[in-house]
Amino acid sequence: MSLSLSSLESIPVSYATVSIGCKDEHTLPKKIRALSAAGFKGIELGFPDLLSFASLHLRHEVGPYDYDDLRTAAKVVKAQTDAQGMEIMLLQPFANFEGWTEGSDERKDAFKRAEGWIGIMEAAGCKTLQVSLIGRCDITYFQAVLHVIAELQLTFAQVGSTDTPEDKLAGLDRDIFVNDLRTLADMLAKHNFRLAYENWCWSTHAPTWADVWDIVKKVDRPNIGLCLDTFQTAGYEWADPTTKTGLVDKPKEELETEFRKSMEDLAKTIPADKIYLLQISDAYKPKEPFSKDVDESGLRPRGRWSHDLRPLPFQGYLPVVDVAKAVLKTGFRGWFSYEIFDGGEDGKGKQYELEPFARSAADTQKRLLEACAE
């Protein structure tokens, strides 16, 4: 599919609230106003932002179990986004759903959380649950998140491939993951909801777009699709923060050939209607290679890299344009959502003001679309 600039200009653009702001004074309402002023049409609402806002708005400490308070705060947030003509298109995160051993407490917890999310989505009119799996969180946390989704009337809530250690899972039989996701998709279908599945480049079992697409096909439900991500895709197939070059350890010509072939396959393979959103970020090349070992919290090196070294496109070294073009060549014209964790090139923190930063992100989106256009 050829890509004309005019065909790309209608793409709606969102921004993850947890990935903008660097000062205590950068509250959620200020983030919303700054993003709206820069031209963003939606936000991914981060649950930590909502907790902070609830405590500030209600003038007492609000915890993840305080459902009534969170719903009250959620209504206020939704009123603020409505006033700005913005959509809350995603709430994040929802984590570590699939792959637990049959009969385990973790598996029971996972399905209880799913039921809680669905209840919130039903109350909200939220249509899509995105699975992006991170670490263990308890059920009450997610029940609180789900109540928030209901009040906000979200379009998306986030889910992806598990990074739970292998010894905690029921092996790495993909059929187990497929069956769990099929069950979740069926639970969602009863309410006319969708499930968006994302690959994480440090995932235990599905680090590539091809992995999650294979799983989505095997789940074989009309209401499951993909959340694709420029960092997650290029951060596994092209780059590696543990090498001196910052690239996957193979001859450069071979790497380029394989990556180009992967992007061509993505463009030819995935139907546009099976892509629910594209998340956007770049990555800094670490000044010193990361250790290949997991850290004290059990996080893999690519996971650590993801936390603080993800700037706007064109500020790092990933082939962001190549990934975006491959996605667009499927015919996809849905949400582009910026998820920028820019701690500076050393990852130690970066100071900025909200409004100029939001404008720079909006300018980057224009540049990205121009670079994708043929």
pLDDT in tens, the chain (374 residues): 779 999 999 999 999 999 999 999 999 999 999 999 999 999 887 778 888 888 999 999 987 767 777 778 888 888 888 899 998 887 776 656 666 778 888 888 877 766 655 644 543 344 566 676 433 333 343 344 444 444 544 444 445 554 444 444 444 566 777 888 888 889 888 878 888 888 889 886 779 999 989 989 999 999 999 999 999 999 999 999 999 999 999 999 999 999 999 999 999 999 999 999 999 999 999 999 999 998 887 889 999 999 999 999 999 999 999 999 999 999 999 999 999 999 999 999 999 999 999 999 999 999 999 999 98
Quote the tokens at residue 143.
Answer: 């029940």
| C-alpha Rg value of the chain to the nearest Å | 19
This prediction's pTM: 0.85
What's the burial of 328, exposed, middle or buried (CB within 10 Å: 0-12/13-18/19+)? buried
Domain that holds residue 368: 5-372
Count of domains in the chain? Answer: 1
- The Cα 68–Cα 70 span in angstroms is 5
Quote the tokens at residue 303.
Answer: 């996971």
For 368, the 3-state DSSP assignment is: helix
- The Cα 185–Cα 118 span in angstroms is 11
Among 354, 337, 278, residue whose Cα is nearest residue 14: 337
How do residues 135-156 score in pLDDT, each as one tens digit?
333 334 334 444 444 454 444 4
User: Tell me, what's the pLDDT at 114?
Assistant: 67
Q: How far is CA 176 from the centre of its chain?
A: 23
How do residues 170-193 score in pLDDT, each as one tens digit?
445 667 778 888 888 898 888 788
Residue 86: give its domain's CATH number.
3.20.20.150
